[in-house]
Amino acid sequence: RRIGNEYLYQTQAKQNIETMNGYNVKKVITACPHCFNTIKNEYTQFGGNYEVLHHTELIYELIQSGKIKPQKTIDQAVTYHDSCYLGRYNEVYDAPREILKAIPGIRVIEMDKSRETGMCCGAGGGRMWMEESIGQRINEMRSEQAMETKANIVASACPFCKTMLSDGINAKGYAEQIQNMDIVELLEKSL
């Protein structure tokens, strides 16, 4: 919607809402912060009123209730990258970090720019689809910030962020020093 065809967005949104309302959908769980933001905050303009959760919120609830029990130790230092649409647009900061803290052995190290002052990886602003030739790419800058923490892993909760961070890590030659993983990948290793 932000960098695309508004007419097509509205047409597709209305069709999606009509389908979901036809099935009497009340709750939507997303794995993508971009979808989370759109369904939660923009579909309401077209009659799409749902309870919307990002999967990290649901997973954290399941950990709190004891339905998910991380058990295996993962002895790693992890820094977490806040997605623009999950963090700054929707203020979901704690659930991802609490999931990481629930995994035995993980030490969470914050980047200098995190939470409310976190830096975009580039995907939230549409830079994922741009070929930049002047200056340093924003995902490379964010990868450098992750490296400065001396963490072994940079975790995210957004498929677009994961792609951008992987590209930045590889472009800077950091692939031997830091892994890029989704929070759910880390959680799965601890089960």
Cα–Cα distance between 145 and 174 in angstroms, integer?
A: 12
Domains in the chain and their CATH numbers? 6-56 (no CATH), 69-189 (3.40.50.10700)
Q: Secondary structure of the chain in the HEC alphabet?
A: CCCCCHHHHHHHHHHHHHHHHHCCCCEEEECCHHHHHHHHHHHHHHCCCCEEEEHHHHHHHHHHCCCCCCCCCCCCEEEECCCHHHHHCCCCCHHHHHHHHHCCCCEECCCCCCHHHCCCCCCCCCHHHCCCCCCCCHHHHHHHHHHHCCCCEEEECCHHHHHHHHHHHHHHCCCCCCEEEEHHHHHHHCC
Model pLDDT, residue 124: 53
Cα–Cα distance between 9 and 13 in angstroms, integer?
A: 6
pLDDT tens digits in sequence order for the chain, 191 residues long = 556 788 999 999 999 999 999 999 999 999 999 999 999 999 999 999 999 999 999 999 999 999 999 999 999 999 999 999 999 999 999 999 999 999 999 999 999 999 999 888 776 554 544 565 655 778 888 988 999 999 999 999 999 999 999 999 998 999 899 999 999 999 999 99
